[in-house]
């Protein structure tokens, strides 16, 4: 994997307001952000860009777009190393409960973390730092 001076995070969400807010948060905290409003656009970008982390909404084009996108990453040998965080309002707004109950569920979902919207900025930044191994003493 090519090392970057600045970690690159791919953000995929069909809600442009969410994309704007999270992109600003990540940029303000030293990350480079590649933003997309559809998984098709994001997949096309992955042919040339290899982000350090992907943050994706769960429900976009379909109820399970985030899961399908994550599975596509994990099935591609050149992309499977990229960790994925799923963010969703499915549980709180729609009455669905996709929340993982443990590490086995995360593995089955092909994701490193699962966060509910509205995403707590500190929690998101801490999870990103943890996943990227940037926590002091956490290497």
Q: What is the pLDDT of residues 42-94, one digit of tens each?
A: 999 999 999 999 999 988 888 788 889 999 999 999 999 999 999 988 654 44
pLDDT band for position 136 (cuts 50, 70, 90): very low
> Which residue range(s) make up the domain with 15?
8-132
Total tally of structural domains belonging to the chain: 1
What whole-number distance in Å separates Cα of residue 36 and Cα of residue 52?
16
Q: What is the pLDDT of residues 12-47, one digit of tens each?
A: 999 999 999 999 999 999 999 999 999 999 999 999
Predicted local distance difference test score (pLDDT) of residue 64: 83
Residue 1 lies in a domain: no
Q: Is-contact 36 12, C-beta < 8 A?
A: yes
Residue 137 lies in a domain: no
Largest Cα–Cα separation, the chain: 41
Q: What percent of the chain has pLDDT over 70?
A: 79
What whole-number distance in Å separates Cα of residue 88 and Cα of residue 31?
21
Q: How many CB atoms lie within 10 A of CB 63?
A: 14
Please report, for the domain that includes residue 18, its CATH number. 3.40.50.2300
Predicted local distance difference test score (pLDDT) of residue 98: 58
Average model confidence (pLDDT) across the chain: 85
Residue 2 lies in a domain: no
Phi-psi region of 91 (alpha: psi -120 to 50; beta: other; left: phi over 0): alpha
Residue 103 has pLDDT above 80, yes or no: no
Residue 85 lies in a domain: yes
Residue 121 has pLDDT above 80, yes or no: yes
Predicted local distance difference test score (pLDDT) of residue 29: 97
């Amino acid at each position: 994997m090519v090392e970057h001076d600045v970690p690159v995070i791919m953000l995929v969400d069909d809600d442009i307001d969410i994309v704007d807010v999270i992109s600003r948060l990540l940029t303000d905290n030293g990350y480079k952000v590649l933003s997309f409003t559809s998984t098709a656009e994001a997949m096309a970008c992955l042919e040339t860009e290899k982000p350090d982390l992907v943050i994706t909404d769960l429900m976009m084009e379909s109820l399970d777009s985030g899961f399908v996108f994550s599975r596509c990453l994990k099935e591609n040998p050149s992309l499977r190393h990229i960790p994925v965080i799923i963010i969703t309002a499915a549980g709180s707004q729609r009455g669905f409960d996709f929340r993982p109950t443990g590490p086995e569920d995360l593995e089955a979902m092909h994701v490193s973390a699962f966060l509910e919207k509205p995403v707590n900025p500190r929690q998101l930044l801490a999870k990103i730092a943890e996943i990227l191994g940037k926590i002091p003493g956490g290497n």
